Structure 1
Amino acid sequence: MTLTTRVLIGLVAGLAAGAAIAAYAPGAAPQIIAVAEPAGGVWLDALRMTIIPLVFALLVTGVSQAADTARAGGDAARTLGLFAVLLVGSAAFSALATPALLAVWPAPAEAAQALRAAAHAANGEIPPTPTIEAMLKSFIPTNPVQVAAEGAMAPLVVFALVFGLAATRIAAEHRASLLGFFAAVKDTMMVLVHWVLWAAPFGVFALALVTGARTGLGAVGILGHYVIVVSIMCLSMAAIAVVLAVVFGRVPFMAFVRAMIPVEAVAISTQSSLASLPAMLDTAERLGVPDKVRGMVLPMAVALFRMTSPAGNMAVVIYVAHVYGVHLSPLVLVVGTLVAATVSLAAVGIASAVTFFTTLGPISMAMGVPMELLPLLLAVETLPDISRTIGNVTADVAVTTMAAEWSLEEDAEEELPVTEGV
């Protein structure tokens, strides 16, 4: 039984038990909540404990790897640049589209209020939005250790990026030692995360029990609303990827759609971009992508590029802010966009359940959004995760067709002088 299945069972059992207590034994609810609430809180704090060191180590090693890849050749560097533009664009799209969608179709007010009360942010207060001056000054950490201790994620991400780039400029033996250290930190933190996630069904059960006792079955409706909103943002990335393939990859629309059918089937059944790589390679070949292009771009895309990660993660954080009534200023959304695009690198090679907290924690911290709802949202992540994988594999093949078009144009330019001289 997968972790997601066990967590989902914990969620359903907790909500059902809590709703039953609220309906049939309301007098016992306060005592049960007094026990379950701190139990769930301890588990959540244990998970939070891993976020700062894990994300820092992942970003340092990931940025160094990307920098080495960029030095490997012009095509690789151009592809990495395309990845960066699309990741920022993905986050920016969600930063604009998700609030617009929630304005038209908001979460059920009563259920949102009850869910907010059940999860309750620290001291039951909505975090204040920092001023523009404070936000701008916070980007450069005067004391990286202090910002890490305070959980100030935006300046920590900036420092990790600069640190990772600087590591590529030192002597090779020192760079190997340094990156080896952070690789060891990453692996160690992953062990800790898996230990904490082993107890996830129990932690989620405790949190869901509290939620069910306070909200009844109203939480089911708002969780369904959340799944639809996040899935729409992820599937929008798939639609944008199709447009990119048609406009910039010069692939006929119906040809691309038909070619993607086996890839989407594998993506839906496995919920894994890596598992879909063989099918993507076959599809790229049928679309006429040269072997040298698909052999380079698709593995890079699977390793470094997940187009739906920023869009989906921004949608999750904005939805939580919507439930809590947290006002997100334009500057806060810009910060969230940049952090979401950057920490999407941390999603590489990690199981979905781990990625959920690794990527959403930094974005939530940077935007000042409470994290107490995330364990409950993890329990229903299987459904949005299908949409995430569909968007990712579609984008991977789309950028490969774009790279193929660049390659054809470069080959034509190289052959042109020879043709003129004949």
Structure 2
Amino acid sequence: MLDNDNTGAGGQGKFALVSIRLPVALTFAALIAGLVAGIAGAALGAPGWTSEIASLVGGLWLRALQMTIIPLVAALLVLGLVQMILASRVGTVARRMIALMVVVQLAGGAFTSVAMPALLKAFPVPEGASAFLAQTPADVGEVPAVLDFMASLVSPNIIAAAAETAMLPLTIFFVMFAVAITRLPQDQGDRLLGFFHALGNVMLLIIGWVLAIAPAGVFALAYGVGVQSGGGAFAALGHYVLIATMMGTFVFLLAYVIAAGLGRTGLMSFTKAVLPAQAVALSTQSSLASLPAMLDSAGRLGLKASTAEFVLPLAVVIFRATSAAMNLAVVYYIAALAGIEVSPAIAVAGILIASVISLSAVSLPGSISFVVSIGPIALAMGVPVEPLALLVAVEMLPDLMRTLGNVTMNVAVTSAVDRAAAGTQEPA
């Protein structure tokens, strides 16, 4: 994913996807400029037509971004899950790695589901932040009752489910679809994978064109927010960045627990060994660029080269340790903006969907994984997706913790897998 740090081109071999990037600095500047212009416009009594034009431009850009979510998620779910299933067949090391990945994602999601509501109650969203929902339709955000939620898990018409952006039945369907592909004869499976590979690349090209004009869309949306909220918008963004980063910090610290417990590595030894990889992660915001440093860290810890050279490259491709925790944090923050209470059943569904999408995501730039990974979770939990168009502009800040947590956890999981495999003869 998403998430989600800037890993560049996705996957390897037949799973490779086109590489696209968001003009991060320019988009962030457009966010600040739009908010300032909106605040100034409100103070100087700018004519109403300026807000109407900004709303039109921002709304069109937002819709163009949203229209790619369903087909892109379908392609990435199928490709990513098939890749995981094939990897699990390689041997014991792969199965242990994937089991740890699942546990980490579920733990991160569960922590966020408990911690975020408590944090937002103790430190409420700043006043004026509701302007981030200015583009939200009135009927978005209705959370279903428990029985309705259970009934919605399976749709009799998958086309209708896609039209209604019903992410729960869609996710379940495509998980089953991916598993079924691995049971087909190889030639039939390859043809289906080729279709989803092409579909993913087409959607990425389209979303790349949309993101190329992100500064204009973000400026227009931010202008409307600035007009309505004034300086409260800056306070809300700072509040959001801090709280979202705290959820990633949990996963970052959990990596040390796994290294010390399952990896049987001293905390000081692990800290010293992983420090160079962390430095590269912070400077590049890229798990892929940190791979050589992670391999070096594994060598410093005395891990078998065969284990490290198998686990770490695979982890870079399919493992986003912080994704479930930090993606759910974004959804809970938007729910707080919209005044939505998330029921326990919906929270559990959010944890599962966040984990599945994260574990199935091939490497994508952070700006892409932010929308693709969080949008389906928000839709499944009955939370508006519109604020994502503005929050992606400040993702460059939480993304530091995403990359730091991902890299640290990759090394920790490698140490745990290596120690568990000690004494066996199977290298992978």
Which TM bucket (shorter chain)? Answer: over 0.9
Do the aligned residues in 2 keep the contact of 1:3 with 1:353 (CA within 8 Å)?
no
Partner of 1:420: none
Partner of 1:77: 95
Aligned 1:294-313 pairs, distance under 5 A: 294-313=308-327
* 1:377-396 C-alpha deviation (Å, 9 max, x unpaired): 11111110000001000100
Partner of 1:106: 124
Do the aligned residues in 2 keep the contact of 1:266 with 1:279 (CA within 8 Å)?
yes
For the residues of structure 1 that align with 2:207 and 2:140, how far apart are their CA atoms? 28
Partner of 2:153: 139
**Pairwise CA distance, 1:113:** 3.5
**Pairwise CA distance, 1:121:** 2.0
Relative to 1, partners in 2 of residues 1:347 and 1:9: Cα closer, same or farther, differing over 3 Å?
farther
Which 10-residue stretch deviates more, 126-135 or 244-253? 126-135
Match of 1:12 among 32, 50, 60: 32
**Pairwise CA distance, 1:372:** 1.5
For the residues of structure 1 that align with 2:322 and 2:108, how far apart are their CA atoms? 7
For the residues of structure 2 that align with 1:326 and 1:302, how far apart are their CA atoms? 35
For the residues of structure 1 that align with 2:236 and 2:390, how far apart are their CA atoms? 11
Asked if 1:61 corresponds to 2:79, the answer is yes
Do the aligned residues in 1 keep the contact of 2:22 with 2:212 (CA within 8 Å)?
no
TM-score computed with the length of structure 2 as normaliser: 0.92
Do the aligned residues in 1 keep the contact of 2:299 with 2:305 (CA within 8 Å)?
yes
Aligned 1:322-337 pairs, distance under 5 A: 322-337=336-351
Partner of 1:418: none
Partner of 1:95: 113
Relative to 1, partners in 2 of residues 1:115 and 1:71: Cα closer, same or farther, differing over 3 Å?
closer
Alignment root-mean-square deviation, CA: 1.5
For the residues of structure 2 that align with 1:307 and 1:252, how far apart are their CA atoms? 21
* 1:353-403 C-alpha deviation (Å, 9 max, x unpaired): 111100011001000101121111111111100000010001000000001
**Pairwise CA distance, 1:170:** 0.8
For the residues of structure 2 that align with 1:315 and 1:134, how far apart are their CA atoms? 25
Relative to 1, partners in 2 of residues 1:21 and 1:343: Cα closer, same or farther, differing over 3 Å?
same
Which 10-residue stretch deviates more, 296-305 or 188-197? 296-305
Partner of 2:410: 396
For the residues of structure 1 that align with 2:145 and 2:28, how far apart are their CA atoms? 39
Relative to 1, partners in 2 of residues 1:284 and 1:182: Cα closer, same or farther, differing over 3 Å?
same
**Pairwise CA distance, 1:411:** 5.9
Asked if 1:122 corresponds to 2:137, the answer is yes
For the residues of structure 2 that align with 1:100 and 1:156, how far apart are their CA atoms? 30
User: Which consecutive unaligned segments of at least 5 residues does structure 1 have?
Assistant: 413-422
Identity %: 44
SS in structure 2 at match of 1:205: helix
Letter in 2 for 1:22: A
Aligned 1:3-402 pairs, distance under 5 A: 3-26=23-46, 28=47, 30-108=48-126, 110-116=127-133, 119-123=134-138, 127-345=141-359, 347-402=361-416
* 1:83-141 C-alpha deviation (Å, 9 max, x unpaired): 12221221111111111111211111x2234444xx24202x56221011111111122
Partner of 2:11: none
**Bigger helix fraction:** 1
For the residues of structure 2 that align with 1:281 and 1:115, how far apart are their CA atoms? 42
Do the aligned residues in 1 keep the contact of 2:22 with 2:214 (CA within 8 Å)?
no
Relative to 1, partners in 2 of residues 1:357 and 1:2: Cα closer, same or farther, differing over 3 Å?
closer
Greater RCO (CA < 8 Å, at least 6 residues apart): 2
Letter in 1 for 2:70: I
Paired residues in the alignment total 406
